[in-house]
Each structure stands twice: as C-alpha cells, then as structure tokens.
Amino acid sequence: MNKSIFGQLLFLAIYVLLQIFFANKITLFKVAFCFVYLNFLLTLPRSTDHTWLVLIGFMTGLLMDFFFISWGVHSMACTLVAYLRPYWLGLLTNRNERDAEINLREMGFTSFSSYLFLLIFIHHLLVFFIEYGSVVAWGTVLGMILASTLFTFVVILLFSALFIPKTKN
C-alpha cells in the first residue's frame, strides 16, 4: 500500500476516534458542538484529485453518519465541503501559493483561517438545518450553527497550531 495513502487512512482513524470518544462528549451550553473530524477533509493534500476528494468526503461523512446514526446528514455536508474546497482554495491563494500544502505555516494565518471558517460554516449550516431546521425555531438553529462553527474553528485552529508539519529541507 502506498505510504501516503496509509498515512491518510491513519489520520482518518485518529480523527474518527477523537470525534467519537472525545469531541462528541464536549458541548458548550448545549448549543455549540465540535466536529473535529472535519480537519481530516480540510487538510488533505492539495494534490488530491477533485473526484477522489468528493468521494473521500462522502465516505468520511458516511462513517460519521454510521456512528451518529444521522442518516446521511454528515455525508451530504462533507460531500459539499469536499466539492467546494478546491474552488475556495483557488480564491484564497495566488498562483505562487497553489502548490503549498494546506496548513497554517504554508498558508499564513489569514488565508488559513478564512479557508477553515467558511468551509466549517457551510458544513454546520447543512448539518444543523437538516437535523433541526423543521423542529426548532430558526433563531435557535442559527445560534447553534454560529456557536458550533466558532467552537470547531477554534479547536481545529489549535490543532493546526500545535501540530504544524516540519518544513522540508
């Protein structure tokens, strides 16, 4: 098996375990939820083929749906995030940065933060509107989306700052 593919599968397993055993147990005021597993999708290598990226997004979401018993909610949200990811990256980076890896060191704080925030927001928008949109008041759902987006954003940003990959010499 290709070393790179094995490494990505290992990262996926780590993020799934983190999500199931830790992140699921952490909520802020019963409003903000953390979906740390998104960091797997958001930091896949830039060279990942778009079709594969969408398929990986779907499969990651399907895996989360299995554990959350959420019937396709995460599959749809992750598929959309994976589909939009290259377009959003293209808008955020100039041609000289297009080969840079997706991390805090390579992209810089502003670009990396903008990249994370929008895609996390889109994911949460879909998840919460599908999950709660017809049952709970719109204001409550919007509050959950914003609070969870901020919570997930901060956690992923902290992960990214703590585990910055070493530069290649």
Q: Which tokens in the block code for residue 93?
A: 């980076």
Q: Decide if 91 is inside a domain.
A: yes
Q: Which range of residues forms the domain containing residue 114?
A: 3-162
Q: Report phi then psi at 65, rounded to 5.
A: -60, -35
Please, how many CA atoms are within 13 Å of residue 60, restricted to the half-sphere of its CB?
A: 33
* 63, 77 Cβ separation under 8 angstroms: no
Residue 37 has pLDDT above 80, yes or no: yes
3-class secondary structure, 32:
strand
User: 73-112: per-residue pLDDT in tens?
Assistant: 999 999 999 999 999 999 988 766 666 789 998 888 999 9
Question: CA 14, CA 30: separation in Å to the nearest integer?
Answer: 25
Q: Which residues contact 75 (CB under 8 A, 6 or more apart)?
A: 58, 61, 62, 64, 65
Would residue 167 count as lying in a domain? no
Question: Phi and psi dihedrals of 28, rounded to 5?
Answer: -105, 115
pLDDT at position 164 is: 75
* 169 lies in some domain: no
| H or E stretch at 143 | helix 138-162
- Is 50 within the bounds of a domain? yes
- For residues 84 and 163, which has the higher predicted lDDT (pLDDT)? 84
Domain count, the chain: 1
How far, in Å, CA of 69 to CA of 131, rounded?
11
Residue 168 in any domain: the answer is no
Q: Is 65 a domain residue?
A: yes
Q: Is position 27 within any domain?
A: yes
Whether 149 maps to a domain, the answer reads yes
- pTM across the whole model: 0.91
| Band (59; pLDDT cuts 50, 70, 90) | very high
